[in-house]
Amino acid sequence: MIFSYNWLKQYIDGKMPGPEELVELLMFHSFEIEGLEKKGSDYLIDIDVLPNRAHDCLSHIGIAREVAVLTGLKFQMPQILVDSFGNDRTEMKPSKVGDFISLDVKDGNDCPRYTAKVVTGIKVGSSPAWIQEKLEACGLQAINSIVDITNFVMLETGQPLHAFDADKIGKKIVVRRAKAGEKLSALDDKAYKLDKNILVIADSKKPVAIAGIKGGEDTGIDEKTKNIVIEAANFNPVLTRKASRELKLRTDASMRFEQGIDPNLIDFAQQRVCTLIQEIAGGEVIFGMADFYPKKVSSKKIKLDCDYVNKLLGVKIPKQRMIKILKSLDFGVTGTGNQIIVQVPTRRIDVSIPEDLIEEIGRIYGYENIPCVFPVAVSSPPKRNDELFWQNIIRNILKQAGFFEAYGYSFIGDKDKEVFNLSENLLAEIENPISSLNKYLRMSLISNLVKVVKENLKNSDEVRMFEIGNVFKKKNGFQEKLMLTGILTGKSIKDEGFYELKGTVDSLLNGLGISDHWYDDVKATPEDSSSHIWHPGKTAEIKVGDREIGFLGQLHPAVTSALNIKENIFVFDVDLSQLLEVVSEEHEYRPISPYPTVLRDLAILVPKGTKMVNILNTINSAGGEIVRDVDLFDVYTGEAVPEGRENFAFHIIYQSADKTLSSAEVDIIHKKIIKALEENPSWEVRTKNK
C-alpha cells in the first residue's frame, strides 16, 4: 500500500524522521518496504503490510501509531466533532436515525456488525484539493466530495465505508445472501451475476451493493443527491474473499475485509466521516446510529510472566522497560511482581497469546539489541529409528536387484474395488473425496502399483518396481499396516518370472538376516477377497518359521485383462510390520570354499501345477551339504512334452567345503537325487547327466 509521508506527519506530535530514516526505521522493525518515491513536496512510501498486521496497519493512522512508538514521539488522533452525532448543532432537530432507516441483517456470522448514519441536506460537489491530493498520492481517483471523503477516511482509519443515496435506497437496508439469478449493475459500469455464496446489501426488493466489495449504480451518489446513508460495517473475511475471487473483483475495501478488521473501529470511522461531510458538504447529521452488533468484541486479557519474556528472547529486559513498550503500543498493563496482566486493544487481532506479546516487546526493543549467543546443549546422536533403518536396507537390496521405487496415492476408486474384488465392508470410505477416483483408502499397494507399471510398460519392455507404504482396513475399528510390494513384468517375462521374483525375495530375506524362510501353499480365508486376484497354482505364501509374512505369485489373468495389460504380472506382497519383527543384523558367517564347483544339469517332466518347492526340497534333501545351490533355468511346455505336463530344467551346483570333489563322488550324489525324484510315480527325470 502507498502511504504519504506528509499525511503520516499530521498524526505525530514532534519532529518526525526524514523519509529515508523513516524507511530504515520501519525495515528494522518487521515492515517490508517496496519503494520510496518523491512526488512534489511529498514522499510516497510503498509498504508491503503483511497479513498479520493488515487489520491495523492498512491505514495511515495505523502506520503513524507504529512510527510514534518507534521514535518515542507522541501520537495524536485526528479531530472529530461531538455534533457529528447530533449532540450540539443538531440538537434542535427532533429527528432520529430510526425515522429514516432500519436494518435487517439475516446472519450475524456473515455480518458481525452493520451500522448506518444518515446525513440530510448535503450539497455534492468537488472535494477540496487537499483530499484530492492525498487520494491521488495513494492511487485513488477523485469522484465527488461524498465518495472522496469515504475513501479518505478508509485510507486514514482502515475502515471501508460506503455512501448510499438515501432517497434511492428506501427506508430499509437488508444484509443477506444473494438469490439465484440476481444481478447487480455496479459503479464500475459492469453487471455481475450473483449467487448464494455472495453477500449483498439490498433494499426491500433487490441488491444495491456487493457487501464489502462494490456499490451499486442505482443508489450511487451524484450531483442531485441531497440525503445520504453512510454504511460502516464488518463482513466475514472468508465470505468476502470467496466472493471477490468468484466475481474476479478486488477492491481497496475487499482487500481490508479479507484480512479481517476490528468491529469497534466503526465507531471512530463514523464520527470522522460525519465530521468531514459536515465541514465540506454541509448538511445535518441525524441523531443516533442504526447499529446491528449482537456479539460485541471486547479486549482480551493475557497473563504475562516477565521472567519468561527474558528467557524466550535470550536477553534481560527490565520489567519497567517491558511495561513502557507495551503501554506505548496502547496495551493496558496491571498487576505486580513478575506476573502482569496485559489488556489488548481490539484492533490488535494478531495478539492472543503471551508469545505474541513477547514478539512485540522484542520487536520494539530491537532485535539488533539481542546478542547472538550459541545455545549450550549436549550433542548426542539421535536414537535410531529401526523402522526407517530397515526400510532403507530393503530399498538398497531391491535397487541392487534392478527394482525402481514408486510412491503412489493412498486412495482408490470404485473401478479398483471391482477389478480387485475388494470387500466393501473392509474398505474405509472418505467423507469428502476430491474425486470418484479417490473414494476409498487403499487396502493394498498392489492396485495402484499395477497402474503405475501399466504406464511404464508403454516405454519399457521390462518393468521392476516396488513400493513401501501404509494400507488401511475397516476391521475391528480401523487398522493401518505398513506393507512392501514388488512387481515384475514385461514382454520377455514368461512363466519363469515367478521363480525370478522368488529369487529376489530370497535375496531380500537373506540380506535382512532371515535364514529360516520358506514357501507354502496359499490358504485363503473366506473374508480375504484379495485371494481372488492371484492366479491359481502360481501363488505361494512367504513364511518365516511358522509366521506368514506375505504372498508371492502371478496376478490372475482376469485382473490384468480388466486393466488392459497383456503381459503376465508377478507380485510379492509382504507385511512389513511382521517382517521387521524377525529381521536381524546378525549374519551367520559361512566361509567361501576354496575348492572348485561341479555343475550338473537335470531335467524333470512333471504334471502341470506341481509345486516347485516340492522338487527343490527333494533335491536338497537327497543331495545334502554337497549341493551348494539349485537354479531353475528353463520351463518348457512345447513340442515333445505331453499335454498336461511341463518340463523343468535345473543347474545343480556341487561343492565341498573341505576337499575337491571327484567326478565319481558327484555321480553318486547325482544318482541319489535322481532316485529320490523318481520315487514320485508322476515325475520323470529326462536328463540324468551332462
- pLDDT at 517 (0 to 100): 83
* CATH code of domain 82-292: 3.50.40.10
Q: What is the DSSP letter of 530?
A: G
Structure confidence by residue, pLDDT tens digits, 89-115 = 433 445 688 889 999 999 999 999 999
Q: Three cell numbers at 356?
A: 505474541
Least confident of 181-190, 250-259, 580-589: 580-589
324 contacts 72 by C-beta, under 8 angstroms: no
CA-closest candidate to residue 648, choices 597, 608, 682: 608
Write the DSSP string, 629-649: EEEEEEEE-STTS-TTEEEEE
Structure confidence by residue, pLDDT tens digits, 137-156 = 888 999 999 999 999 999 99
Q: Domain-by-domain residue ranges, the chain?
A: 2-75, 82-292, 300-369, 386-579, 598-687
Q: Crossing angle, helix 319-328 and helix 60-71, to 10 degrees?
A: 150
- pLDDT at 14 (0 to 100): 86
Residue 142 has, within 13 A of its CA and on its CB side, a CA count of 16
Compute CA distances 649 → 501, 621, 632, 688, whole Å. Answer: 17, 18, 6, 11
pTM of the model: 0.60
- pLDDT at 91 (0 to 100): 37
Structure confidence by residue, pLDDT tens digits, 189-231 = 899 999 999 999 999 889 999 999 999 999 999 999 999 999 9
Cα 415 to Cα 407: distance, rounded to the nearest angstrom = 20
pLDDT category at 456 given cuts 50, 70, 90 is very high
For residue 520, give the amino acid letter: D
What radius of gyration, in Å, describes the C-alpha atoms of the chain? 41
Q: Is the pLDDT of residue 391 over 80?
A: yes
**Burial category of 649 from C-beta neighbours within 10 Å (exposed 0-12, middle 13-18, buried 19 and up):** middle
Q: Is the pLDDT of residue 171 over 50?
A: yes
- pLDDT at 30 (0 to 100): 75
**Burial category of 532 from C-beta neighbours within 10 Å (exposed 0-12, middle 13-18, buried 19 and up):** middle
Q: Is the pLDDT of residue 524 over 80?
A: no
**Burial category of 17 from C-beta neighbours within 10 Å (exposed 0-12, middle 13-18, buried 19 and up):** middle
The CATH class that applies to domain 598-687 reads alpha beta
465 contacts 487 by C-beta, under 8 angstroms: yes
* Look-up of cell digits 513340442: 639
* Look-up of cell digits 470387500: 423
Domains 300-369 and 386-579 share a fold: no
Q: Is the pLDDT of residue 50 over 90?
A: no
**Any residues with CB less than 8 A from the CB of 153 and at least 6 apart, and which?**
159, 161, 269, 272, 273, 276
Sign of the dihedral defined by the CA atoms of residues 95, 100, 105, 108, in that order:
negative
* Look-up of cell digits 497402474: 451
Q: Is the pLDDT of residue 424 over 70?
A: yes
Number of other residues whose CB lies within 10 A of the CB of residue 59: 26
CA-closest candidate to residue 241, choices 256, 222, 231: 256
Give, for 188, the enclosing helix (H) or strand (E): none
**Burial category of 343 from C-beta neighbours within 10 Å (exposed 0-12, middle 13-18, buried 19 and up):** middle
Q: Phi and psi at residue 281, in whole multiples of 5°?
A: -110, 0
Can you tell me the mean pLDDT for 46-62?
Answer: 88
Cα 232 to Cα 113: distance, rounded to the nearest angstrom = 9
Structure confidence by residue, pLDDT tens digits, 311-341 = 999 899 999 999 999 999 999 999 888 899 9
Query: Which CATH fold topology does 2-75 show?
Result: Phenylalanyl-tRNA Synthetase; Chain B, domain 1 (3.30.56)
The CATH-assigned architecture of domain 386-579 is: 2-Layer Sandwich (3.30)
Structure confidence by residue, pLDDT tens digits, 612-645 = 778 888 998 999 889 988 888 888 887 888 888 8
Number of other residues whose CB lies within 10 A of the CB of residue 194: 21
Q: What is the DSSP letter of 84?
A: G
Cα 262 to Cα 554: distance, rounded to the nearest angstrom = 66
Can you tell me the mean pLDDT for 510-534?
Answer: 70
Query: Which CATH fold topology does 300-369 show?
Result: Phenylalanyl-tRNA Synthetase; Chain B, domain 1 (3.30.56)
